[in-house]
Amino acid sequence: MNFPAYTNLWGKLAKYLHVIYSLLILVFLIIPIIVIIPLSFNSEPYFTYPMPGLSLKWYEAFFTSPVWISSLKNTLLVGVISTLIATVLGIMASLGLMHPRLQRLAWLKGVLMSPMIVPLIITAVGVYFAFSPIGLSNSLLGLILAHSALGVPFVIVTVTATLAGFNETLTRAGRILGASPLQCFFQVKLPLIAPGVISGALFAFATSFDEIVVAIFLTSADQRTVPRQMWSGIREQLSPTILAVATILIVMSTIMLITLELLRRRTERIRSGSL
């Protein structure tokens, strides 16, 4: 570390304290996540160290339990379909929002972004009241629709951000060269804004994959999702199987994080390149 010539002993001490403090907080952020990973391999159902032995039985319990497997299927199904809906609707709306006259309409963007701001409990209760009379509660369809709405703002944020850096002359070039508007979109625009689209879709998927409050209100035993199942598991009795599920979820979020980081680098490369 470089210290300016005028820094005295106290200044150096403060600087070191700042570094130590920051590193401690970073450790504090990561520790709770790290601590439960080894415990999920514990051979005994206790949550203390040192562990008497290692075992994969809690993972076995997860993968052989019909309840957990069906909730995993439900989660993936809801996640994938709601991500698709949110992404398609979100891309279309983002393209529209780039129009200069609509960009000035703050309320329009506000309405489209509102699912991100409204507390989940309010969304959940509202959706429950509105969907129950029309048979959409206790159904995966209802959950898919609600999760799509929750995912849309993330797609809009990331896609409009990428579109802002998109060079419109490329579309015009495509049109002049004889491509139809649709061809232009799919062959010129979409490949270039793909990083934004994919990170928006990842955010939307993560939102649905994580979401529990709406799931509590909209699902019954037949449509349990993984977070919903974890919630009831934790409330009854915290079993090591839940730690195994948590570890699997941590691995999944790590994969999503890495994907996003790679995408971000790619976008930066493209931005700093010739475009």
Partner 1 sequence: MTNSTYTETLTSAEAKVLKRNLRKSERFGLYKALLLILPLFVFLMFTFILPIGSLLFKSVTDDVIPTEWPALTQSLAAWDPAKKQLPDSQTYSNLVVDLQKSIEDDGNSRVATRLNFQQSGMRSLIMKTMRHLDGMDLKDAKQSLIDADERWGQIGTWTIIKFSSQRLTFDYFLNAFDYTRDEFGNVVHNAPADSLYQDVFIRTIVVSLTVAVLCVLIAYPVASFLAALPSKFSNPLMILVLLPFWTSFLVRTTSWIVMLQTNGPINQFLLELGLILKPLELIYNRFSVLVSMTHILLPYSILSLYSVMKGISPVYVKAARSLGAGPIKAFFNAYFPQTLPGVVAAGILSFILAIGYYITPALVGGADDQLASYYIANHVNTTLNWGLASALSVLLLGGVMVLYIVFVRMTGGKGMKLG
Instruction: Please give the residues from 174 up to 203 whose contact with partner 1 meets the rule CB under 8 A.
Output: 199, 203
For partner 1, the closer CB: 101 or 274: 101
Contact segment (CB under 8 A) with partner 1 among 54-62, 65-73, 170-178, 237-245 equals: 237-245
* Separation CA 231–CA 205 (nearest Å): 19
* Separation CA 189–CA 172 (nearest Å): 11
Side-chain-side CA neighbours of 171 within 13 Å: the count stands at: 13
Contact segment (CB under 8 A) with partner 1 among 41-49, 52-60, 61-69, 169-177 equals: 41-49
DSSP per-residue string spanning 121-143? HHHHHHHHHHHGGGT-TTSHHHH
* Separation CA 194–CA 162 (nearest Å): 9
CB of 250 to partner 1, least distance (A): 6
3-state secondary structure 7-73: CCHHHHHHHHHHHHHHHHHHHHHHHHHHHHHHHCCECCCCCCCCCCCECCHHHHHHHHCHHHHHHHH
Draw the binding track, 89-128, toward partner 1 (x: CB under 8 A; -: no contact): xx-xx-xxxxx-xx-----x--xxxxxxxxxxxxxxxxxx
Out of 77, 170, 179, 213, point to the residue binding partner 1 (CB under 8 A): 213
Q: Tokens 């799919």 label which residue? A: 186
Residue ranges in 46-65 that form contacts with partner 1 under rule CB under 8 A: 46-49
For partner 1, the closer CB: 192 or 206: 206
For partner 1, the closer CB: 192 or 200: 200
CB of 173 to partner 1, least distance (A): 18
Side-chain-side CA neighbours of 22 within 13 Å: the count stands at: 6
For partner 1, the closer CB: 130 or 173: 130
Contact of 200 with 157, CB cutoff 8 Å? yes
Q: How far is CA 216 from CA 35, 47, 65, 122, 239, in A?
A: 28, 27, 21, 13, 20
For partner 1, the closer CB: 29 or 274: 29
For partner 1, the closer CB: 78 or 93: 93
CB of 235 to partner 1, least distance (A): 7
For partner 1, the closer CB: 80 or 126: 126
Out of 72, 78, 81, 206, point to the residue binding partner 1 (CB under 8 A): 206
- Contacts with partner 1: how many residues (CB under 8 A)? 93
CB of 203 to partner 1, least distance (A): 6
